[in-house]
Structure 1
Amino acid sequence: MVVSVIPATVTDEERRTMLLGSIVPRPIAWTSTVSSSGVRNFAPFNFFTVVSNTPPMLSLTLECKQDGSEKDTLVNIKETGEFVVNVVSAPLIREMVLTSHGHHRDVDEFAVAKVTPVPSQTVSAPRVAEAPISMECKLVRITRPGSDSVVIGRVERFHFDESVIDTELHISPSVLCPVGRLGRTFSAIRSTSDICA
């Protein structure tokens, strides 16, 4: 038996539940920004993907806060045009969750999570020293095709921990051990397999 659902016939929350449970696993963009007044912000987003290879671009989709206002990450990106996407590995799950709690705009989530900010080379937002991969990004555009804002950024510089990348620039998923979302839960990819056609 197949359960068919017309999106317009269910609530926003039910639609969200179906989307988040169906599109899995979703990588997490642990995104660092800085406000125009210099306050660091750090939050995870799991509506995240590649947009283009040449030039290298990625997208983040940011929902509004429960009160309908824009999240601090979006406000900061609008103000500065810059952000850093840090990849979450399994050892960083706890720290990542600590940054997801919707702290006040003046709170430095780097301090909350007890992770180390490192100056970036092309943008004002810091990257995370403990993250195995970081991507410094400059804003290309922000669109709002529906209820959420889609941020498209161009990657200006990649940073890799030497343990996750080889001399041919191949990244080892088993060493990286990236964290993703599976519906309401998290998953970590610890092993992979090659499938030959």
Structure 2
Amino acid sequence: MTRPSSHTHFDFAQLTERERYKILIGTVIPRPVALVTTVSHDGVPNAGPFSFFNVLTHDPAIVAIGVENYADMRFKDTARNIRETGEFTVHIVDDALVRQMEICAIKFGPEIDELEEAGLDTTPGVMVRSPRILAAPAALECRRHTTLQVGPAREIILGEVLGVYVRSDAVDPSNLHIDQQMMDAVGRMGGHTYTRTRDLFDIKTLTPEEWAARG
């Protein structure tokens, strides 16, 4: 049996907000990246990336994004737009999209269209008003389900997935198999680091009978 290595314990009650953040983004890895598009009540489009993101359940189909608003309690464009319209579109970020995604992360004012700044072509949404980024390998059109206020400037937005677009060369409609290599998604690590998802391996969970047969 392999001897376990030693571990360093951190009591979160004794850490600052920034210290807790550094520990979490360094340990919960890799995290999928959501490039979220919204439109304001006046129809102004917006795009912003979020790495505090994941799918939580399939029935109903719910995704979650963690939004950190401004310290003075003002909403970021994404949070405000979702509150106004109840709609957003989550795009999965692949390796080819990373540089343009980072442009969308720049803290532009609400009058700036990040999609235009990043040179991203879009098409109008079908089930929601938010635009769909054509270069993304997948896009999930969502309707706001619940907003959880978890701190003065932090909230978790749950969205019900109404429909999904997947690149046609990455999905087999007959069996719904999605080619993970073709998706070429990236994940967020700690600091400024990302990772590619090209090194794949399979593990099949055994049934109790299969486990017993192994002795």
Query: Smaller-chain TM-score range?
Result: over 0.9
Tell me the TM-score normalised to structure 2 length: 0.88
Report the equivalent of 2:195. Answer: 187
Equivalent of 2:135, from 130, 136, 141? 130
- The alpha-carbon deviation at position 69 of structure 1 amounts to 2.2
**Correspondence 1:20 to 2:25:** yes
Quick check: 1:108 aligned with 2:128?
A: no
1:119 and 1:126 in contact (8 A); partners too: yes
Q: What SS does structure 2 have at the residue aligned with 1:92?
A: helix
- Quote how far apart the aligned CAs of 1:66 are: 4.8
State the match for 1:151 in structure 2: 157
1:145 counterpart SS class: strand
Q: State the superposition RMSD in angstroms.
A: 1.3
TM-score normalised per structure 1:
0.96
Letter in 2 for 1:123: V
1:70 to 64, 70, 75: 75
Which is higher, the Rg of structure 1 or of structure 2? 2
Runs of 4+ in structure 1 over 6 Å off: none
Quote how far apart the aligned CAs of 1:164 are. Answer: 1.4
Deviation of the 1:195 alpha carbon: 2.7
Q: Do 1:95 and 1:113's aligned partners in 2 also have CA atoms closer than 8 Å?
A: yes
Name stretches of at least 5 consecutive residues in structure 2 with no aligned partner: 1-5, 207-215
What amino acid sits opposite 2:164 in the alignment?
Answer: F
Identity over aligned pairs, percent = 33
Q: Does 2:60 correspond to 1:55?
A: yes
Deviations 1:112-157 (CA, angstroms, capped at 9, x unpaired): 1101111111111011011110011001110113352010111111
Aligned length: 197
